[in-house]
Amino acid sequence: MGAGKNKGLKQALAERRLFTAMAAHNPLAAKIAQEAGFDGIWGSGFELSASYAVPDANILSMGTHLEMMRAIAATVSVPLIADIDTGFGNAVNVSYIIPQYEAAGVSAVVMEDKTFPKDTSLRADGRQELVRVEEFQGKVEAAVQARQDADFVVIARTEALIAGLGQEQALRRALAYEEAGADAVLIHSKQKTPDEILAFVAAWKGRVPLVLVPTAYPQLTEADIAATGKVGIVIYGNHAIRAAAGAMRSVFAQIRRDGGIQGVDASLPSVSDIIGWQGDMRMRDIERLFLR
Catalytic residue positions? 56
The binder of Mg ion chosen from 2, 8, 43, 45 (CB under 5 A): 45
Q: Which residues contact 228 (CB under 8 A, 6 or more apart)?
A: 198, 201, 202
Interface characters, 94-123, with ligand SPV (x: CB under 6 A): --------------------------xxx-
Residue 118: closest CA among 136, 106, 103:
136
Q: How far apart are CA 229 and CA 267, in angstroms?
A: 41
Q: Which range of residues in 21-29, 76-84, 190-198, 221-229 is near Mg ion by CB under 5 A?
A: 76-84
Q: Which of residues 238-267 bind ligand SPV (CB under 6 A)?
A: 238
238, interface contact from Mg ion, ligand SPV, none, CB < 5-8 Å by kind: ligand SPV
Q: How do strand 153-158 and strand 40-43 relate by DSSP bridges?
A: unpaired
Q: How far is CA 124 from the centre of its chain?
A: 21
Q: Which of 39, 83, 151, 196 binds Mg ion (CB under 5 A)?
A: 83
What residue 215 binds from ligand SPV, Mg ion, none (CB within 5 to 8 A, per partner kind)? ligand SPV
Between CA 198 and CA 188 the distance in angstroms is 11
| Phi, psi angles (nearest 5°) of residue 176 | -65, -35
CB 135 within 8 A of CB 166: no
Q: Is 215 in the site for ligand SPV (CB under 6 A)?
A: yes
The binding site for ligand SPV (CB under 6 A) comprises 23, 44-47, 56, 83, 120-122, 213, 215, 237-238
The binding site for Mg ion (CB under 5 A) comprises 45-46, 83
